[in-house]
Copies of this chain bind each other. A is one copy, B any other.
Amino acid sequence: MTTGGDVPTMATVTIWNEYRHEREDEAVTAVYPDGIHETLADALADDHDVTTATFDEPEHGLTADVLERTDVLLWWGHEAHDEVSESVVDRVHQRVLEGMGLIVLHSGHYAKVFKRLMGTTCSLQYREDGATERLWVVDPGHPIADGLEESIELPRTEMYGEPFDVPEPDRLVFVSWFEGGEVFRSGCCYRRGSGRIFYFRPGHETYPIYEHDAVRRVVRNAVEWARPTDGAPRTFGERE
């Protein structure tokens, strides 16, 4: 936490991307030629110390060293969830409990580490129809909503519908309206251990969602919100 008058250091952000669709599917390559991670990095580069990591790197690019210096980790994955190494998941999980922020994007609801942190299936309903989504700010006092209008409109996207099998969020920031008749809790805040977790629904790979100004603003806000604070000791075990 910064106290008045101090200059806060920039958050160190690691953007993790599965990075498969962009190399396998021309429609996705057209939207994210350098990968979703690079588009997200571009949204954060001005105010953050950003690095990226992808599935195919050794240890998925998430070595102990990388995680140790990461303040906030972004996670985008889809088709390779089950292939993510258990030991990397263990490591990310432990770092979140120690205080590292975690922002889980779109299809990342099925990421191993998100399911582990939630304790539920994280299942939902979906339909790939390219219809309109409108994300309503239901908690206008939340810092993740800083600088937004009352809603964000995404002209074409995939639909996610309720029920969403997650624990009741600590704070619900966004609820999505979908043209086809569904709703979804699309911005959910949690804390587990000392770590702040934000699930943010937008980001389908075949639409340029991460080029959208308001979406980029949410990602930046969420990174600031999720930064670790000093806290008090987490001491466990036998006591004299």
Q: Which residues of A are at the interface with B, using a C-beta cutoff of 8 A?
A: 1-11, 47-48, 97, 99, 116-121, 123-127, 134, 136-143, 145-150, 159, 161-165, 167-168, 170-172, 175-178, 181-183, 185, 190-195, 220-221, 224-225, 229-240
Known: A8-B4, A183-B175, A231-B145. A163 touches B192 (CB 8 A): no
How far, in angstroms, from A191 to B173 measured CA to CA in the complex? 13
Interface CB pairs A-B, < 8 A, 11:
A4-B10, A123-B237, A136-B162, A138-B183, A140-B232, A141-B229, A143-B231, A150-B233, A161-B239, A170-B170, A177-B178
Kindly list chain B residues whose C-beta atoms are within 8 Å of the C-beta of A47: 3-5
A149 partner residues in chain B, CB cutoff 8 A: 232-233
Q: How far is the CA of A93 from the CA of B145 in the complex (A)?
A: 22
Q: Are A141 and B193 in contact (CB under 8 A)?
A: yes
> Does A8 lie within 8 Å of B1, measured CB to CB?
no
From the candidates B167, B177, B183, B229, name the one contacting A167 in the complex (CB within 8 A). Answer: B167
B231 lies within 8 A of A123 (CB): no
Q: Provide the residues of chain B in CB contact with A237, threshold 8 Å.
A: 123, 125-126
Judging by beta carbons under 8 Å apart, are A125 and B239 in contact? yes
Contact of A124 among B10, B162, B175, B236 (CB under 8 A): B236
A138 to B120: give the CA distance in the assembly, Å. 15
The answer to whether A163 touches B150, judged by C-beta atoms less than 8 angstroms apart, is yes
Q: Closest residue to A71 on the B side, CB-wise?
A: B4
On whether the beta carbons of B232 and A150 are closer than 8 Å, the reply is yes
Which residue of chain B is the closest to A12 with respect to CB atoms? Answer: B4
Question: Which 4 residue pairs across A and B have the least CB separation, nearest first?
Answer: A141-B194, A4-B10, A123-B236, A145-B232
- Chain B residues near A126: list those with CB within 8 A: 237-239
Distance between A13 CB and nearest chain B CB, rounded to angstroms: 9
Looking at the assembled complex, report how far the CB atom of A167 sits from the nearest CB atom of chain B, in whole angstroms.
6
Residues of B contacting A192 in the complex (Cβ-Cβ under 8 angstroms):
119-120, 167
